Amino acid sequence: MDPYYKEALDQAKKSLAEGGIPIGSVLVYQNNIIGKGHNKRVQDGSVVLHGEMDALENAKRQPASVYKNSIIYTTLSPCPMCTGAILLYGIPKVVIGENVNFKGAEDLLVAKGVEITVLNDPESIQMMQNFIQAKPALWNEDIGE
**In Å, what is the CA distance from 56 to each residue of 14, 46, 131?**
17, 15, 24
113 lies in the binding site for a copy of itself (CB under 8 A)? no
- Looking at the Cβ atoms of 1 and 110, the one nearer to a copy of itself is 110
SS3 10: helix
9 lies in the binding site for a copy of itself (CB under 8 A)? no
- For a copy of itself, which residue of 21, 28, 96, 105 counts as binding (CB under 8 A)? 105
- Looking at the Cβ atoms of 83 and 124, the one nearer to a copy of itself is 83
- Considering only residues 71 to 90 of the shown chain, the ones binding a copy of itself according to CB under 8 A are 79-85, 87-90
Q: How far apart are CA 85 and CA 53, in angstroms?
A: 7
CA of residue 88 relative to chain centroid, distance? 15
Is residue 104 a contact partner of residue 83, using CB atoms and an 8 Å limit?
yes
67 lies in the binding site for a copy of itself (CB under 8 A)? yes
- For a copy of itself, which residue of 36, 41, 114, 131 counts as binding (CB under 8 A)? 41
Any catalytic annotation for residue 106? Answer: no
- For a copy of itself, which residue of 12, 26, 56, 95 counts as binding (CB under 8 A)? 56
- Looking at the Cβ atoms of 71 and 108, the one nearer to a copy of itself is 108
> How many degrees, rounded to 5, is the angle at CA 20 between CA 15 and CA 21?
85
Q: How far apart are CA 143 and CA 81, in angstroms?
A: 10
Report, as residue numbers or ranges, the catalytic residues.
52
